[in-house]
Amino acid sequence: MTEQSAFPDIEIYLYKTTTAQILDWLSDRFGVLEKPESAGTVVRTNAMFQGISIPIRITPHAAGKNFTCVTLESAETPWSTDLDCARAAQQFLRAEVRCSASGWTEQEGEHSANRWWKLTSEGERKITWDN
């Protein structure tokens, strides 16, 4: 991963996936996670990657009632982009995963809100996500 290609954080959306399933995937990838703590419906934990602690936030019902958002709040992750992470999550969880189809730049600010990748067992495609 290079600084140019790394996103400032990683954010993916998982369809009809429980927090327990997500924690299983994260544990499989990172090994031991810090004890998850809940604040309302949001669950926070930390994982270690190459000696760096990565704060992780799991937010159920983040996009409608069926999508859970997983945010790795660091540029230092095993994945350079949201799409790389989404592919890993889809492969492990066998669930639909969505992520931004555009990167993040200082000029643009946040990524374009409606351009997304949709990953399923049938493949990957770009979509416009209108809640």
**Tens-digit pLDDT profile for the chain (131 aa)?**
333 455 789 999 999 999 999 999 999 999 999 999 999 999 999 999 999 999 999 999 998 899 999 999 999 999 999 999 999 999 999 999 999 997 655 544 444 567 899 999 999 999 998 75
Residue 113 lies in a domain: no
Number of domains in the chain: 1
Does residue 111 belong to any structural domain of this protein? Answer: no
33 within a domain of the structure (yes/no): yes
Q: Is residue 30 part of a domain?
A: yes
Domain region containing 94: 10-99
- Tokens 């290609």 belong to 5
Is residue 49 one of the residues assigned to a domain? yes
Residue 27 belongs to a domain: yes
The model's pTM is: 0.87
- Which has the closest alpha carbon to 6: 42, 52, 45? 52
Number of helical (H) and strand (E) elements in the chain, helices listed first: 2, 8
